[in-house]
Every structure is written in structure tokens, then in C-alpha cells.
Amino acid sequence: MKETEIKNIKYITIIATHNCNLNCSYCYEQHKSTEKMDVDLVKKIIQNELNIDDNFDLVAIDFFGGEPFLEFDSIINIIDFVKAQKHKKEFSFFAGTNGTILSEKYKQWLVDNKNIFSLALSLNGTKTMQDINRSNSFDLIDIDFFVNKFSNVTVKMTISQDTLEYLAEGVEFLHKSGFQFINCNLAMGVDWLNENNSFTLENELEKLINFYLENPLLAPCSLLNYNIQNIAYYSKKIAHKYCGAGTRMKIYDIDGKVYPCQYFMPLAIGEKLLATENIVFSDIIKSSDLDTMCQKCIVVDICPSCYGSNFAGTGNIYGRDPAFCKLSKIIIKANSYFKAKQWELGLLSLDEYQEQELLKGIMMIQEQL
């Protein structure tokens, strides 16, 4: 099947293991163990997803953890099995890794199979940032391998309170190391109450904006790549879900049970799982169902509200952390300023309609946030 013929993609996640070789400062998985997936069970799950009659043409399969590559041999076993079978649907594989346990054998396998296997690397910026957040692991990662062998690899850069002051430096370092796509986010589920965080974040975002304006050929990191033009469609009656939890995602735990996203698994929320059974997820949300501070917020459609993190903290998938909300608004305002400067400098390729949407979104943010 040619890529241009693919109409619908189904995303499923397989939890390879609850175990991890690092102890990251912001990790939301508070109930780790040495448990791992049953290879035969996973084969049956994937076979079913590839052959069930539904409206999907491609199944994108993500191996998750813990650190999924602790089970690298089992992953190879599963993929070899899938490749040897005939299926109704096309398939691809993906894994996010901390990059610390890749032997030469595994590196070669990844290179040999990169036509069907994509990678994301969790790397928190400079050596200082990585070592603060992720168990002094910077020197264990072969950055050149990811850059040179996987030119389209995404870097997942998570910012904690301890590394916020290095945000711009970290993003610039990753770009200069050769990474093109940087998924950069504030850690969720942690305490952001310190008042200094707002001032620090504003300063770091200003540095980042200047960096990207001086380097217009670089793809901005996700912190400065919000679709603020969508605000032009703001409605006081409904909101659209930011992520695919419970509707466009399917997570299989090691016992084969299905969950709406990683945050709603026993690995993350433990005994709170019992309280999630009656949660109904929808991609279209009534404004009246939202947290009170979100009901009239014009940026609700582009706000990175994590339903799992909300539930873990408040018992309500719409219950926002006020401190995180404040920082999110700072980020969205920075996006509006960045887009305005890009437009002013002629760095955006927009038709007349797109330009009107963008400028309306910028004005709404500047006036109302």
C-alpha cells in the first residue's frame, strides 16, 4: 500500500516492561516493577489489530515502558513474527528510548529495520540538564548514532523545575548536535508553584524566540509550535480534546488489559485506577464539563491539558493544576509573539485566509490572556 493511499491510522501502544534502568526526577510512573510483556500474548494482540475489520488502513505500534529496550530481544522476536505473516493492514513500529543500553548488535538491527521502525530519544538537553533530571546518564548515550543513522528522530526534552533556567541553552544544544525535531515540554504532575518559575520561563522563551528568528530554517521546538490560528474558531459552548486519550489511543498493559493512555495505567496511578472505570472520554467536550477556570478560556483548544495528570492530581480529568495553567498561558502568549514576529519578517508562507486566521488568533491572545 502506498503512503498516499493510506487514509486512517490506528495507534496502539504495547507496554514492553514496567521496569526502567533510570530514575528520572519527574517520572509519573510511581509503581514500577520488574514485570514484562508476554511475547505470545503480544503477538495475538497485534495479529488481532492487524486483521480486525475496521476503518483503519495502517496500524502504528508503539513499544513503551519503563524502558522498552530492556526487552529488546522480545521486541525483535515480535517484529520478526509480524513481518512473516500476512495481514489485512499495513504496519509500522515505534519506540521511545532513553538511549543508554543500546549495544552494537541492537544499533545494527535498528539501522537494518528503520524502514518500519522509528525512534524517539529522551534527552533533556545539555549534559548538565540530562544528568540533573535523568540519573547522570548523558555519557551513556551515543548521540551521533541517533543523529547520523536516524535523521528524522524526534528528541523528547522534558523540563523540570531544576532545569527550567537552562531551557533555551538545552534546545540550542540539541539543534547544534544535529537534531531537527525537538518535542520540548514542561514536566506534568510535578509541583510548579514556585513564583520564580514564571519569570524564568518568560526569559527562557524570549531567548528561544530570538534564537529561532536568527535561525529561520530550523523547525521550532514544540514549545513554540502551537497552532494558535485555531483560536479563531473559539467557541464558548464546546472544546476539542487536546490528545487521543480514550478515543484515538489504545494502550495494552503487560496482562493484555486495555487503557485509555499511559497515565491511566496501574503503573502510573496505582489504586486510583478503580476510580477511572466510569470515565467517559470524548473528542468534543461540553464547556460546562470543563474545570471552571477553563470554561471561558479562549485557548482551551490548544492548551496541553493532560487528562491523566489532571486525574492523578485532582480526581477529575478536567481538574487543572493552577500553577501549570499559569505557565501554559505564558507559553501560549510567547507563541503569539513569535508568530507575530515571523509574520512581520515575512518568514511565514500563508494564503490570505490562513493569514487572517493567524492574525485573529494573535490578537485574541494578546487582548484576553
Burial class (CB in 10 A: 0-12, 13-18, 19+), 205: buried
pLDDT class of 4 with cuts at 50, 70, 90: very low
Per residue in 351-366, pLDDT (tens digit) is: 999 999 999 999 999 9
**In angstroms, rounded to a whole number, what is the distance separating the alpha carbons of residues 138 and 125?**
9
Half-sphere exposure in the Cβ direction for 66 (13 Å, CA): 27
pLDDT given for residue 5 in this prediction = 53
Q: Name the more confident of 36 and 234.
A: 36
pTM, 2 dp: 0.93
pLDDT given for residue 3 in this prediction = 44
**CB contact at 8 A, 49 and 12:** yes
pLDDT at 201 > cutoff 90: yes
pLDDT given for residue 273 in this prediction = 82
**In angstroms, rounded to a whole number, what is the distance separating the alpha carbons of residues 18 and 267?**
7
- The gap from C-alpha 127 to its chain's centroid, in whole angstroms, comes to 22
Quick check: helix, strand or coil at residue 122?
Answer: strand
Rg of the chain in Å (alpha carbons): 21
The pLDDT of 98-125, averaged and rounded, is 96
pLDDT given for residue 277 in this prediction = 81
The pLDDT of 20-47, averaged and rounded, is 96
pLDDT given for residue 228 in this prediction = 94
**CB contact at 8 A, 3 and 135:** no
The pLDDT of 334-356, averaged and rounded, is 97
**CB contact at 8 A, 17 and 37:** yes
The residue type of 356 is Q
pLDDT given for residue 278 in this prediction = 85
Quick check: helix, strand or coil at residue 251?
Answer: strand
Per residue in 156-189, pLDDT (tens digit) is: 999 999 999 999 999 999 999 999 999 999 999 8
Half-sphere exposure in the Cβ direction for 167 (13 Å, CA): 29
Per residue in 291-301, pLDDT (tens digit) is: 988 998 999 98
Angle between helices 196-214 and 167-176 (to 10 degrees): 30
DSSP secondary structure of 202-226: HHHHHHHHHHHHH-TTSPPPGGG--
pLDDT at 321 > cutoff 50: yes
Lowest mean pLDDT among 201-210, 225-234, 338-347: 225-234
Per residue in 38-96, pLDDT (tens digit) is: 999 999 999 999 999 988 899 999 999 999 999 999 999 999 999 999 999 999 999 99
